[in-house]
Structure 1
Amino acid sequence: MSGDPTTERAEDPSTQEGIPINLTGVPETMLWTLYNRAGEARRPDGFLRDPECVRVYESIDYDYERSFGKPDASHPMRSRVFDDALRPWLHAHPGGTVVELGAGLETQSHRCDDGRVQWLCVDVPEAIAVRERFLPPSERCRYVPKSALDLGWLDEVDPARGVFVSAQGLFMYFEEADVRRLFVAIVDRCPGVELMFDTIPPWFSRKTLKGFQKTKYYRAPPMPWGIRRDDIEPLLRRWSPRVASTSAVNYGVFARGPSGALLRLCSRLPGLRNLPPAIVHVKTTGATA
């Protein structure tokens, strides 16, 4: 294999159209995010360029619209925000390691690869099995078939040149105690690590626990962990003295139309900014506090 994850592609039969995929529960959400990213990437005015996502989307035999309705900009917006934070980190940490927790069918390694970074994609075995069919691993892009809560994946991380951990659409599916245990383990094992993850507000968490029907045919998995944007930094600082800084932005940065304008307005108003989901970027210190 070459060491470039942007050039490694599955050969027959994986790249042929119409491959059926059978997933349930949280792993099935990888198809939801793929669908929305592909919808944006296929637009001539799209803000996310993601040809590998489009290729994978078109290769899978799945009735996306039946399950998820019309595509929206939520997930591609999230990926774009993560990309925009990661690229300067890559420049500052040549040969560093990027860990994607709950990697699913995310194609960030193809959008952002700089020819030097080491990618580590962590997800449950059934998700990794699907990922391998359409996005094969390579010398610099390794896969670990474990839950993010199985801290054994940390043994695969080389912290020597810096570590960036991302978790797109993952932490909300865990209980808060599990998120805390995972967060503390990462910070303790990888001094100076940067982390990015997204959160949902408590009202939406409660909605999913009661049963959130995205469409008639698809019910989203329960999301137990919800948190207000204003509560994120104080909570993380209680969890670890190594938190150096925390920034958060609301969903809606690139959203179009009236809904996008409303989300951006919410992000500027103290009371309303706690209502939408948020994306969190955490920087930590390397020394024990």
Structure 2
Amino acid sequence: MLWTLHNRASEALRKDAWISDEHAIALYGAIDYEYRRSFGAPDSSHAVRSLAFDQAVRDWMAAYPGGPVIELGCGLETQFQRIDDGRVQWYCVDLPQALAVRERFLAPSARCRHIACSALDFSWMDQIAGTGPCFVSMQGLLMYFEPDQVAALLQTLLARFPGSTLMFDVIPRWFSRKTLRGLHKTPYYRLPPMPWGIDRHQIAPQLERWNLPLASLTLLPYRRLRGFPFALMPWLSHLPWLGHRLPGFVLLQGRPTAS
């Protein structure tokens, strides 16, 4: 939670910032923590990731005014605060411990409800109003699950909310393996294990094997990043061999009625 906040707020504080995020800046200043000691110099990765999700959710809200957006594993993300259109019904879902921290700084409201529950405990779905299409945002989440857990979650979401739009980010297999062996960001912070890694060319076949009722599937690269060699990623993503081994985003829409 603090690592992603460090990167997002640091980007928002720049004079040439790519993201506007006043709430992240406020959180960053309110939490007394040695960010650089744990996470090192900030980078643009998490801010760029948030921007990609923001655009997709904005497009969906324009098509489904007042519809429900479900943010799984919300942590200290401030997406609702950035893009609230005054009509959306927003649901923040996270573990009770995570929401307890979040609510010290970001209180729930009538249109931004908090549900203290694991994303893998599907009982949280009972608290979502209606059974029609919704947008499910899973930012920085699925890589922490086992593959069978990812499959069960996606299958259940599309069965429970037919015609919904789901978005998540993926890491390549090589990076997943590094985290499982033990990958330190700095001497003071070890990245959590990320069991689910998948290369870009494997995504569509894997979703087909999971028998998801899909109407569309779009794979999106990171559009831009700061600093060398990360700034090369948007161009490298077009190279067949290397591009398959870079992180990216998956945007999919379920069929209106599951079958």
* Letter matched to residue 171 of structure 2: I
Pair 1:55 & 2:26 matched: yes
Report the residue type matching 1:86 in the other structure: V
Deviation of the 1:254 alpha carbon:
2.1
Report what 1:219 is aligned to.
190
The 1-side partners of 2:119 and 2:209 are apart by: 22
Structure 1, residues 11-55: CA drift from partner, whole Å, max 9, x if none? xxxxxxxxxxxxxxxxxxx11001100011001111110000100
Q: Taking structure 1 as the reference length, what is the TM-score of the superposition? A: 0.87
Structure 1 counterpart of 2:138, from 145, 162, 167? 167
Partner of 2:105: 134
Q: Percent identity?
A: 53
Cα offset, 1:192, TM superposition: 0.6
For 1:191, what is the secondary structure of its paired residue?
coil
Is residue 66 of structure 2 the alignment partner of residue 103 of structure 1?
no
Counterpart amino acid of 2:253?
Answer: K
1:36 and 2:7 matched: yes
AA partner of residue 192 (structure 1): G
Letter aligned with residue 224 of structure 1? P
Aligned to 2:54: 83
Superimposed CA distance per residue, residues 201-246 of structure 1 (whole angstroms, 9 cap, x where no aligned partner): 1100110000010000000111101000111122112223411111
Q: Contact 2:224–2:233 (CA<8 Å) still a contact in 1?
A: no
1-structure distance, mates of 2:231, 2:109? 41
| Number of the residue aligned with 1:287 | 257
| Aligned pairs (5 A) from 1:68-79 | 68-79=39-50
Distance 1:111 1:263 in 2: 26
- Counterpart of 1:37, as a letter, is R
| Shift, 1:261, TM fit | 3.8
How far residue 256 of structure 1 moved from its aligned partner, in angstroms, is: 2.6
Q: Structure 1 stretches of 5 or more lacking a match?
A: 1-29
Give 5+ residue unaligned stretches, structure 2. none
Relative distance call for 1:59 and 1:43 in structure 2 (3 A) is: same
On the 8 A contact 2:158/2:258 being kept in 1, the answer is no
Shift in CA distance, 268/227, structure 1 to aligned 2, threshold 3 Å: same
Partner Cα distance (2:242, 2:144) in 1? 24
Q: In 2, are the aligned partners of 1:93 and 1:161 still within 8 Å (CA)?
A: no
Contact 1:40 1:46 in 2 (8 A): yes
2:208 aligns with one of 217, 222, 237 = 237
Distance 2:38 2:179 in 1: 16
> Do the aligned partners of 2:132 and 2:163 also contact (CA within 8 Å) in 1?
no
2:160 pairs with 1:189: yes
Opposite residue 283 of structure 1, the aligned amino acid is Q
The residue aligned with 1:259 is: 229
TM-score (norm 2): 0.97
CA distance in 2, matches of 1:167, 1:272: 25
Cα distance, 1:81–1:90 mapped onto 2, change above 3 Å: same
RMSD: 1.2
Matched, 1:275 2:245: yes
Shift in alpha-carbon separation, 1:261–1:56, aligned structure 2, 3 A: closer
Matching residue's letter, 2:151: R
Moved over 4 A (4+): none
Cα separation, 2, equivalents of 1:62 and 1:256: 24
Contact 1:249/1:267 (<8 A) preserved: no
| Structure 2 equivalent of residue 121 of structure 1 | 92
What SS does the corresponding residue of 1:61 show, helix, strand or coil? coil
Separation in structure 2 between the aligned mates of residue 241 and residue 169 of structure 1, nearest angstrom: 21
- SS of 2:155's equivalent? helix
* Structure 1 residue identity aligned to 2:115: V
